[in-house]
Amino acid sequence: MAGETVLVVGGAGYIGSHTCLDLANKGYKPVVFDNFSNGHREFVKWGPAEEGDIRDRARLDEVLATHKPAAILHFAALIEVGESVKDPVSFYENNVIGTLTLLSAAQAAGINAFVFSSTCATYGLPQSVPLDETHRQVPINPYGRTKYIVEQALADYDQYKSLRSVVLRYFNAAGADFEGRIGEWHQPETHAIPLAIDAALGRRQGFKVFGSDYETRDGTCVRDYIHVLDLADAHVRAVEYLLKGGESVALNLGTGTGTTVKELLGAIEDVSNRPFPVEYIGRREGDSHTLVANNDKARDVLGWVPQYDLSAIIRSAWNWHARSNQH
């Protein structure tokens, strides 16, 4: 299957661009389709770029006819939870209507291998930890609901339209390409590791921790940080699985290891050797105290095992943020 063309929708973004890197390293031809509202033209390094919006059916048809991809990887989503509460309409228009338009174009082009970037936010508040794929899905914000709606649509497309898909539910994506060519670059930035690194670099006043009285080992929230290159590897494996005739499946992508916010900040200080101010404030509405993946199914189905630990995540992120001039 090496040599096949794969359309990477949202391929100029954080996880999409790292997946293009991995696709190219494994002999595939990644074609980026992006409207560049959140993605970066500088991140398109491993194949051609086609500018367009997933809500534009004519443009999708044109690109699919030109490149004839064997599979589609779909990363093009609005992802900021707080923004989804302020502006749910944009999230439904892009994440739901846009994805349905993309699926219709894929079907018309005869493509039936589709990998969907989903999220552990579809689970809502955890009833048990670690979470496996049988955990109930009751999302608590518009972002999570839009992803869950697409997951349900994909199940129907599989059953009634023979479009096979792999749904990948990420936990906390982090880290960067170790060579510093691409990395995490959101505007505005809301993720913990880049915010804390910016504090250590003196680009921010400090770092705010939301809640220090949770029932965890040190009172702060626990999260499962997974290296973006491990996520990229899982996506390429998912493409290979579908091209070999694999059935539709939903899989968690996490390490299975939880890290508290305090532990995370300590690890960043260790790597950077730069202490920075930390302020503990009240809990943030909607935050779960613990989100950790059970990743057994991804290992069994895809043969996927995360390669990078928290130290590697932080070292690669520090390298990217310290060198980058996007600030």
- Active-site residues, by number, are 143
- For tokens 């630990």, name the residue: 309
| E strand spans, the chain | 5-9, 29-34, 49-51, 71-74, 113-119, 164-170, 172-174, 207-210, 222-223, 225-227, 249-253, 259-260, 278-281, 290-291
Q: How many residues does the chain have?
A: 327
- For tokens 């894929």, name the residue: 106
Token couple for 163:
């479009």
Q: What angle do CA 80, 238, 298 make, to 5 degrees?
A: 80
In sequence order, which residues have a C-beta less than 8 Å from that of residue 89 and are 6 or more positions away?
Answer: none
Question: Please, what is the angle between helix 57-67 and helix 99-108, to 10°?
Answer: 40
Question: Please, what is the angle between helix 192-200 and helix 310-323, to 10°?
Answer: 60
Nearest to 85 by CA among 126, 141, 32, 144: 141
**Which DSSP letter does residue 282 get?**
P
Question: Please, what is the angle between helix 261-272 and helix 310-323, to 10°?
Answer: 60
CB environment 258-267: b (16+ within 10 A), e (fewer): bbbbbbbbeb
